[in-house]
Amino acid sequence: MIGKSRKPKNIKFHNQRLVLSLMRQNAVISASEIAQRINLSITTVVKILAVLQENGLIKSMGKGSSTDEGGKKPELFAINESYKHVIAIYAGPDFIQAAVTDLNCRVISHHNYPYKVPESLEQSMQDIADCARAAMEENGLQPDDICAIPVGFDGIVDTESGIIYYPIHNSGWGRNIPAQEMLERRIPWSQNIVINNGSRYFSYGIFLEHPEYRDKNILTILAATSTGGCLIDHGKLIRGAHGFMGEVGHVIIQPAYRKRRCLCGRYGCFETLVSMEAVREYAAELAGEYGDHPLYSRIMDGEAMHRDLFALADQGDAFARSIVDRLVSVFESLIHNAALLCDPDLVAIGGAFTEGGAYFLEELRARISNQSFFEIGNKLSIVYSALDAEYSIVNINVGAALYAVDEYLRTLEFV
């Protein structure tokens, strides 16, 4: 062990967490495989498994089919997924969604609830509390069965202070809302309510598909109807001083772009330059050359989606490529600025751009690696994230559940 010495008790909890994190990455696993993978003695691992099993956090799955060196079939273990549950809530602009997941972040149920009086802050917070209780009761759960209630909001949310500084869509709620405190008062049966920005929760879900990304400094860029993102440094969601970190949608890329004002009140924000409305504006500029193109009328009639554009660009269509080139250059500027401000080693692009296709990604990578000053192209990876194209609400809640379970298990210590 390098650095400060560890007390025996801390070593024990540290090892418990190592075993747990390995178990969470594997559906079933044997003691000897755990011992091998994390370099602990088999005796230590067997002891840890016994403690975890005694406490109900893991369960025996019977004997495996393969044999150990000794010729015996090893006992297999798995996380006891119903040890605790998460009620993950996304309080969006139009409705509230409450999802109940197990400890493996599998969604057991999810329901949408309307706001009773959307413009009333007090009533909306009460609605969220009511949803949480309804979700618990519907699944026959008790307060003790719930390890956490993560709640995602849109806008500038500071998880540390529990304040929503700026609820961008729910403008009737005002500003500087002590949402966490308001929810804690209304949900006295849970000690573990944590608010954050919905895009951050959504982005965090990337670790379900890519646990290896936990060793990286990742910038996620999500763009669909709305835009979000976040910075996750070695598995930690970075909030910044006020919760602004990762609000990529409002990074100003082209202040002189005056066709539409952003929801935030400014011009030329990233969000306004990559949306389907922007695509329509880019298409209109090309009307002289491509006005009779079939995609042109579909875009103008509001029937085309990002994916239609990307599919045609991949087929070599010149009109689609001219528009995609505009989108590429907006992404290029954002990533260029991000490299200077937070220097990620991986950029994961999600939302509608998950379906960006080969042309978009190749062009973007080429532009980034051609930036002579930085030559970051060699070091900065740009990938499509596995996060879904619709940027769907239930996946905000799945990411929130993963975040909540990670935090919960990080603090558990069994003696």
In Å, how far are 39, 42, 65, 66, 402 from 71, measured between CA atoms? 22, 16, 11, 9, 38
Q: What is the dihedral of CA 47, 53, 56, 57, to 10 degrees?
A: 70
Query: Judged by CB under 5 A, which of 250, 306, 326, 365 binds Zn ion?
Result: 250
Nearer to Zn ion, 80 or 275 (CB): 275
Nearer to Zn ion, 2 or 256 (CB): 256
Positions 55 through 74 that interact with Zn ion (CB under 5 A): none
Work out how close the CB of 229 gets to Zn ion at its nearest, in angstroms, rounded to a whole number.
13
Work out how close the CB of 14 gets to Zn ion at its nearest, in angstroms, rounded to a whole number.
43
Question: Under rule CB under 5 A, how many of the chain's residues touch Zn ion?
Answer: 4
CA max distance for the chain: 77
Distance between CA atoms of residues 237 and 243, nearest Å: 10
Site string for Zn ion, 198-237 (x = CB under 5 A): ----------------------------------------
Which ranges of 117-260 would DSSP assign to H, the alpha helix? 121-138, 179-186, 198-204, 206-209
Site string for Zn ion, 255-294 (x = CB under 5 A): -------x-x----x-------------------------
Nearer to Zn ion, 49 or 262 (CB): 262
Contact 307, 221 (CB under 8 A): no
Residue with tokens 């003691």: 31
Contact 257, 282 (CB under 8 A): no
Nearer to Zn ion, 268 or 356 (CB): 268
Positions 120 through 139 that interact with Zn ion (CB under 5 A): none
Percent helix, strand and coil across the chain, each rounded to 5?
A: 45, 20, 35
Work out how close the CB of 119 gets to Zn ion at its nearest, in angstroms, rounded to a whole number.
22
Tell whether residue 40 is a contact of Zn ion (CB under 5 A).
no
Work out how close the CB of 402 gets to Zn ion at its nearest, in angstroms, rounded to a whole number.
28
Residue with tokens 């993560």: 150
Nearer to Zn ion, 152 or 155 (CB): 155
Nearer to Zn ion, 231 or 269 (CB): 269
Helix axes of 357-369 and 306-314: crossing angle, nearest 10 degrees: 80
Work out how close the CB of 269 gets to Zn ion at its nearest, in angstroms, rounded to a whole number.
3
Nearer to Zn ion, 255 or 302 (CB): 255
Residue 121 three-state SS: helix
Stretch that binds Zn ion, among 59-67, 243-251, 293-301, 350-358 (CB under 5 A): 243-251
Tell whether residue 367 is a contact of Zn ion (CB under 5 A).
no
Q: Which two tokens stand for residue 413?
A: 């210590």
For the chain, how big is the Rg over CA atoms in Å? 24
Residue with tokens 């209780």: 133
Q: Which two tokens stand for residue 206?
A: 């990337």
Nearer to Zn ion, 341 or 358 (CB): 341
Work out how close the CB of 253 gets to Zn ion at its nearest, in angstroms, rounded to a whole number.
10
Tell whether residue 253 is a contact of Zn ion (CB under 5 A).
no
Distance between CA atoms of residues 263 and 225, nearest Å: 12
Chain positions contacting Zn ion, by CB under 5 A? 250, 262, 264, 269
